[in-house]
């Protein structure tokens, strides 16, 4: 796997053989809304520069600190589609049942199909299977 981006909050790894891009969230809490905007701007630019159509996205948010305050929810809503759009498939790797519920709520809001699970084998099968 090749690393194409890293900051305090995210790492992006690319597996060319399986055509999977992993965005991995660190456990560091965002200190401010400005940090959210700056981090996601870098993440989105790296994904745009890579190109998305041939890849599946694995968004690993297991380490992300839980947060659902209105200010954060609003900031995340502004960037979420820019983060996940354009990929062949999207899978979200979560830690808990609460995480599954929160990301499924986002999926309904966004209208983008994605598998949300805490089962790594299920996620990899989904991302690598041919439609």
Choice between 72 and 23, residue whose per-residue pLDDT is larger = 23
- Flag whether pLDDT at 131 surpasses 80: no
Given this model, what pLDDT does residue 112 score? 82
CATH number for the domain harbouring residue 119: 3.30.750.24
Number of domains in the chain: 1
- The CA distance from 92 to 72, in Å, is 19
Instruction: Look over the chain and give the mean of its residue pLDDT values, rounded to a whole number.
Output: 94
pTM of the model: 0.92
- Flag whether pLDDT at 1 surpasses 90: yes
Domain span including residue 73: 2-128
Q: What is the pLDDT of residues 4-15, one digit of tens each?
A: 999 999 999 999
Q: Is-contact 57 90, C-beta < 8 A?
A: yes
Over the chain, what HEC string results? Answer: CEEEEECCCEEEEEECCCCEEEEEECCCCCCCHHHHHHHHHHHHHHHHHHCCCCCEEEEECCCCCCCCCHHHHHHHHHHHHHHHCCCCCEEEECCCHHHHHHHHHHHHHHCCCCEEECCHHHHHHHHHCCC
Q: What is the pLDDT of residues 57-109, one digit of tens each?
A: 999 999 999 888 899 989 988 999 999 999 999 999 999 888 888 888 888 88
């Amino acid at each position: 796997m090749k690393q194409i981006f890293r900051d305090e909050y995210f790492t992006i790894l690319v597996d060319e053989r399986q055509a999977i891009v992993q965005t991995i969230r660190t456990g560091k809490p965002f200190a401010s809304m400005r940090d959210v905007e700056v981090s996601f701007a870098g993440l989105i630019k790296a994904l745009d520069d890579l190109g998305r159509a041939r890849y599946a996205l694995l968004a690993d948010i297991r380490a992300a600190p839980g947060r659902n305050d209105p200010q954060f929810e609003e900031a995340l809503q502004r960037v979420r589609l820019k983060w996940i759009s354009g990929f062949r498939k999207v899978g979200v790797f979560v830690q808990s049942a609460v995480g599954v519920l929160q990301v499924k709520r986002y999926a309904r809001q966004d209208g983008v199909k994605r598998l949300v699970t805490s089962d790594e084998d299920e996620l990899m099968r989904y991302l690598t299977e041919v439609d």
